[in-house]
Amino acid sequence: MAVVIGFSSVAANGQVVREKQLATVAHKVVADKPTCLGAQAMDPAIAPCDNPELAGVLIPDPAQAKTDQKYRPDCLGMAFPGVPRICRVGPETGYRKRVFAAGDSHNNVLLGVYRSIAEHNNWRIDVASHNGCYLTAARNIPSSDGSERECESWRAGTMKIAQQGGYDAIIVTHAQPVIPAPGETAEQATVRGLVTAWRNLPDVPIVAIRDNPWTRRDVLTCVAEHLTTAAQDCAVSRSEGLAIFDGTAEAARQVPRAHVVDVTSLYCTATVCPPVIGHVLVYKDRTHITATFADTLAP
C-alpha cells in the first residue's frame, strides 16, 4: 500500500508540475502578443495570417481548458436577496467613462476583455453576471423553481443599478434560451424580451454583444485526440454553431440606441466554426470560450 501511495503521489506531483509549466508557457506566449495569435488570425486585414514561430503551439492545453478562465466570484450571482454582486475593472477614480456590463455567465467570460478595454480607454466598467440569467422580460429556462425566483430577483436588482448608476453606456450579453408565451415562437420571445428590457434601461447607448457560436459537446476530447488537425477535424458547421437564435440584431433594430457588436467572423469562416484559431483553443466547454481566446478578442 505504501508503495502504491508513493507512486500515486509522484504521479500527482508530476501532473501539478506539468500544469504549472504549461500555464507559464501559455502566459508568456500571450504576454508576448505574437502576430496571428488567436482571433487576429481571422482578421481579414492581414489574411492569410500565419506565424511560423507558433508552429506546434496550442494554448491552453486541452487538459487545462476548464480552468482557463478569469471568473471572479464577486462578479457573479447575488450578494444577498435583491442585491446582485458587482465587481469593477479599470480605475476607481479619474476615469473618462463609466460603463455597466450585465449578462449571464457569458458576460463573466469576457471579464478579461472588459479589463483590457477599461485600461486602454481609462474607463471604469462595473460587471454583474448570473448563471443562466440576463436582462430580458421573457422567462429564462430554469433549472429549478428556486433558480427562476433568484433570476427574477437578480434582474430587478440589476435593472435598479443600471437605472441609478449614472452610467455613460450599458453593455448587455446573453446566451440562455427563453420560454415562449402562449402563441409565441422562441424567436419572437427572445426578441420581445430583449426589446422590453432594453427600453427600460436609462437613456444611454446600449452595446449588445452577439453571443459566441456554440460547438460540439465533446470538443475538448476531440481536440486532445487530433491536436494539430483539430481546427479541421473538430469544427462544426457555421449553421450548427449559430443554430441557437440570438435575437440581438433583431432587437437592436427596434431600439435605436442599441448598437450590436458581432464578432462572429473572428470565430467562424464562411462555412465552419473551428475549435482552434490562431493556435489558441477557443472553447472550454460547449458554450463558453477560454479566457486566452477572449483576451485575443479584446483589440
The count of other CB atoms within 10 Å of the CB of residue 77 is: 16
CA 113 to chain centre: 9
What pLDDT does residue 148 have?
Answer: 87
Give the predicted TM-score (pTM) of the model: 0.88
| Residue whose entry in the numeric block shows the C-alpha cell 473618462 | 96
What pLDDT does residue 81 have?
Answer: 86
Q: Give every residue of the chain whose pLDDT is below 70, as ranges.
A: 1-30, 143-146
What pLDDT does residue 33 have?
Answer: 80
What pLDDT does residue 82 have?
Answer: 86
Task: For residue 89, give the amino acid letter.
Answer: V
What pLDDT does residue 5 have?
Answer: 45
- For 194, left (φ over 0), alpha (ψ -120 to 50), or beta? alpha
Residue 17: CA atoms inside 13 Å, Cβ hemisphere, count?
6
CA distance 167 to 158: 13
Task: For residue 264, give the amino acid letter.
Answer: T
| Residue whose entry in the numeric block shows the C-alpha cell 462595473 | 126
Closest CA to 250 of 198, 182, 181: 198
What pLDDT does residue 10 have?
Answer: 45
Q: Hey, what's the torsion of the CAs at 167, 194, 259, 204, to 10 degrees?
A: -30
